[in-house]
Amino acid sequence: KAGVTQTPRYLIKTRGQQVTLSCSPISGHRSVSWYQQTPGQGLQFLFEYFSETQRNKGNFPGRFSGRQFSNSRSEMNVSTLELGDSALYLCASSLETGGLYGYTFGSGTRLTVV
Amino acid sequence: KQEVTQIPAALSVPEGENLVLNCSFTDSAIYNLQWFRQDPGKGLTSLLLIQSSQREQTSGRLNASLDKSSGRSTLYIAASQPGDSATYLCAVHNNNDMRFGAGTRLTVKP
């Protein structure tokens, strides 16, 4: 069965621009979580969506936002990009919210802000 | 606030050796713990998921143990191979929050 699909794989943006990343979870999975990974901070939780509702949110500024559609696909948006937003963005899907069933990760989107 | 620590940060072993990676956490009220591997520039691949009620899980050459009371988990890799070279991350899940350790970078030399 298909895994978690993230698009695009790579992005280069200029400071001040905005960007939208997409994540399609495993079929049947209703929870989608987003993470930012950088060499200095490691993996940091951004937010989790379940049934089109944001269930949890990490400690990131309001420039980071997301949404989930009725088919469980999720998008993450970052506005007014800063150099420090350069990172690997990973999404993970799970059957239900709460993490009881563990998480399956996508391959990530590598965002470079110049 | 849950803190997750992985020791060592890096490990280099010759092919064929058995090895143990360590993960410790500060809050024992966890739902589960999951071990992942990550190849450079790639996403995370799930290796093993241990629920809070379990003591260990096995998959092939991998065995993960969990001791909630002491806040520790170990990942045992038997007969290591060069293809095992990667960064290994443990993630602890509790109260709708998942925290990752910084990872152990493993190199298995042929």
pLDDT in tens, B56-87: 999 999 999 999 999 999 999 999 999 999 99
Residues belonging to chain B with any Cβ–Cβ distance to chain A shorter than 8 Å = 31-32, 34, 36, 41-46, 49, 51, 89, 91, 93, 96-100, 102-103
What pLDDT is stored for residue A100 in this prediction?
80
Q: How many residues does chain A have?
A: 114
| Residue B91: predicted pLDDT | 95
Cβ neighbours of A24 in B, within 8 Å: none
pLDDT mean across residues, chain A: 94
Residue B71 CA to its chain's centroid (Å): 13
A33–chain B nearest CA distance, Å: 10
Nearest to A90 among B43, B96, B99 (CB): B43
pLDDT of residue A98: 76
Nearest to A100 among B32, B44, B102 (CB): B32
Contact A17, B58 (CB under 8 A): no
Q: Which residues of B touch A95 (CB under 8 A)?
A: none
Q: What is the 3-state secondary structure (H, E, C) of A22-70?
A: EEECCCCCCEEEEEEEECCCEEEEEEEEECCEEEEECCCCCCEEEEECC
Q: Is B77 helix (H, G, I), strand (E, B) or coil?
A: strand
pLDDT at A40: 87
pLDDT tens digits along B7-37 = 999 999 999 999 999 999 999 999 999 999 9
> CA-based Rg of chain A, rounded to a whole angstrom?
13
> Average pLDDT in the B40-46 region?
90
Cα of A108 vs its chain's centroid, Å: 8
A12 phi and psi, to 5 degrees? -120, 125
Residue spans of chain A under pLDDT 70: 1
Residue A67's pLDDT is 97
pLDDT band per the 50, 70, 90 thresholds, residue B98: confident
Which of A55, A99, A110 lies closest to B32 in CB terms? A99
- The pair of three-digit structure tokens given for residue B72, joined into one six-digit string: 């520790």
Instruction: Name the residue type at position B18.
Output: N
Which residue's structure tokens are 């963005």?
A: A89
In chain B, % of residues over pLDDT 70: 98
How far does B64 lie from chain A, in Å, by closest CA? 15
Nearest chain B Cα to A105, which residue?
A: B44
Considering only CA atoms, which of B81, B84, B65, B106 is closest in space to residue B17?
B81
Our CA-based measurement puts residue B13 at a distance from the nearest CA of chain A, in whole angstroms, of: 24
pLDDT at A1: 64
Residue with tokens 């280069």: A12
What value does the mean pLDDT take over residues B100-104? 96
pLDDT at A96: 86
